[in-house]
Homo-oligomer: A and B are copies of this chain.
Amino acid sequence: MLERLKEETLEANLEVVKRGLVLYTFGNASGIDRDAGLVVIKPSGVDYDELKPSHMVVTDMEGNIVEGDLRPSSDLKTHLALYKAFTEIGGVVHTHSEHATAWAQAGRDIPAFGTTHADYFHGPVPCTRPLTDDEVNGEYVLNTGLAIIERFKGIDPLAIPGVLVGGHAPFAWGRTPHDAAHNAVVLEAVAKMAFMTVLLNSECGVTSALLDRHYFRKHGAKATYGQN
């Protein structure tokens, strides 16, 4: 069942490994079939070398396992919350990639310092507030998702396809698992360059005009980048 989505989800998991964003098993990617109301996600704590499409776990929107012998990623409920709130996204990727995690640990939004950023993120990559003790001690993984959603009030999740969870690490998403993984990789590169940028000049950033120009060069009806 959902064979194509399992393959796409596996490929998204492997892409972030290939690009150096993942140490050991610190990451997970999922995809959603909106028509079926089912999510496909990486199993928890399995070595990437051994992962096959058949290892992917299928759950419903409440996290009940519909197919699969393995336990799903421990971050499943964050993914589900994002799918419910961001109705246009088709894939979610979570990593502890080094530079994006450093920003998340520092509790700082990543400012839009240049066109690499603007090509993918139409504004700063926001960082969530710290969770309260009650949120941590309660439905922690779900509450992580809710804190992301709270932070995105007034922000189009497809225009800013990623977030830093304060004290934790990044999540990225997109229309497909492939796009989510791609955005996670770019987020890490943007985070690395922004880290160096603030050390060189603590007060800089692109103009709104340049932000718009680059973002809409790659997105929307008037996009001119690539062959499509």
A167 to chain B, nearest CB (A): 5
**CB neighbours of A182 from chain B (8 A):** 24
Q: Sorted from nearest, which 4 A-B pairs have the closest CB atoms?
A: A45-B226, A102-B196, A106-B201, A106-B200
Of chain B, the residue at the smallest CB distance from A69 is: B227
- Give chain A's interface residues, CB within 8 Å of chain B: 23-26, 43-46, 70-71, 74, 96, 98-99, 101-108, 113-116, 130-131, 133, 136-137, 140, 167-169, 182, 185-186, 189, 192-201, 204-210, 212-213, 217, 224-227
Q: Do A201 and B133 touch (CB < 8 A)?
A: no
A169 to chain B, nearest CB (A): 7
Q: Do B106 and A189 touch (CB < 8 A)?
A: no
**CB neighbours of A70 from chain B (8 A):** 227
Q: Bound complex: CA of A137 vs CA of B224, how far in Å? A: 15
**CB neighbours of A45 from chain B (8 A):** 225-227
Of chain B, the residue at the smallest CB distance from A133 is: B209
A130 to chain B, nearest CB (A): 6
Q: Do A74 and B217 touch (CB < 8 A)?
A: yes
Q: Do B96 and A116 touch (CB < 8 A)?
A: yes
Copies per complex?
Answer: 4
**CB neighbours of A192 from chain B (8 A):** 98
**CB neighbours of A213 from chain B (8 A):** 136-137, 140
Q: Do A224 and B74 touch (CB < 8 A)?
A: yes
**CB neighbours of A200 from chain B (8 A):** 102-103, 106, 108, 195, 198
Q: Do A196 and B114 touch (CB < 8 A)?
A: no
**CB neighbours of A23 from chain B (8 A):** 185-186, 189
Q: Do B115 and A169 touch (CB < 8 A)?
A: yes
Q: Do A115 and B167 touch (CB < 8 A)?
A: yes
A19 to chain B, nearest CB (A): 8
Of chain B, the residue at the smallest CB distance from A135 is: B209
A112 to chain B, nearest CB (A): 9
Q: Do B114 and A167 touch (CB < 8 A)?
A: yes
Q: Do B116 and A101 touch (CB < 8 A)?
A: yes
A184 to chain B, nearest CB (A): 12
A201 to chain B, nearest CB (A): 4
**CB neighbours of A130 from chain B (8 A):** 207, 210
